[in-house]
Amino acid sequence: MWSFLHRLSSPPTFYRWSGVITPIFAVIAAALLLVGTVWGLAFTPTDYQQGDSFRIIYVHVPAAMLSLSVYMAMAFSAAIFLIWRIKLADVFAASFAPVGAAFTLLALVTGSIWGRPTWGTWWEWDARLTSELILLFLYLGVMALRSSLPERNQAARAAALLAIVGVVNVPIIHFSVEWWNSLHQGSTVSKLGRPAIDPSMATPLYLMIFGFMFFWLANAFSRARVEIVDREQNKRWVREALGDKAEMQRRAGEK
């Protein structure tokens, strides 16, 4: 088992097999998002209280859930890098940050759009909204540390420490609606037992959640491949891999 994981953590090994699996993730994500979007917007019945404005949940809920999941994955990768000095873990930590920040921003924007007709305001310093905004700042801080420090290892360690410390904000976001008097509604999908949402509305929501997940994986793997090539560009295996790819493209162009 450990031998397998050690081989998998090798940049050349990861680069080879991720080139196969990344397009598969992208296709699955596109299919799920297409079906979920059409189902949620065109075939799901109108909510008896919120009308059609509730349909924004098909973007807002997956984005909010993935904003937390990606951060946890980033912090976990950062911890592995700090403890065992596995280079691929730092590659993943760097690759997760931009897409996680995008999910967080999307959750904040769609939440504000939903809040305007529901709460009567675009923004409220609610516990859930405020802690989610702090999450965005944490993502931006991790990215800023990586780009501002000149030495790569020093930047990676600083960004990893910030990512790990920032984990304390994740349970605050998750339980904020239970710990404080919040305008934000409680959980409808992740709670134990039967979800507090009708199956006709829940099914496209699950499709969108899994679609966002596969989009994250496809995006992260693609970014990781670029990051590996940038870091290992002087290695022989990179020159061989890129040379083989260029040769295949040249032959395809001749045909």
pLDDT tens column, 173-231: 989 877 776 666 666 665 444 556 778 889 999 999 999 999 999 999 999 999 999 99
Listed in sequence order, the DSSP H helices in 85-126 are: 87-119
Considering only the C-alpha atoms of the chain, give the largest distance between any 2 of them, rounded to a whole number of Å.
67
**Cα gap 240→229, rounded to integer Å:** 12
Q: Residue 62: which of 27, 34, 114, 103 has the closest Cα?
A: 103
At 74, the amino acid letter reads: M
Domains in the chain: boundaries: 21-188+199-228
Q: Residue 241: which of 91, 16, 21 has the closest Cα?
A: 16
Angle ∠(187,190,195) on CA atoms, nearest 5: 80
**Total residues found in the chain within this entry:** 255
pTM: 0.89
Model confidence pLDDT, tens digit, residues 37-74: 999 999 998 887 777 888 999 999 999 999 999 999 99
**Cα gap 137→139, rounded to integer Å:** 5
Here the tokens at position 24 are 């598969």
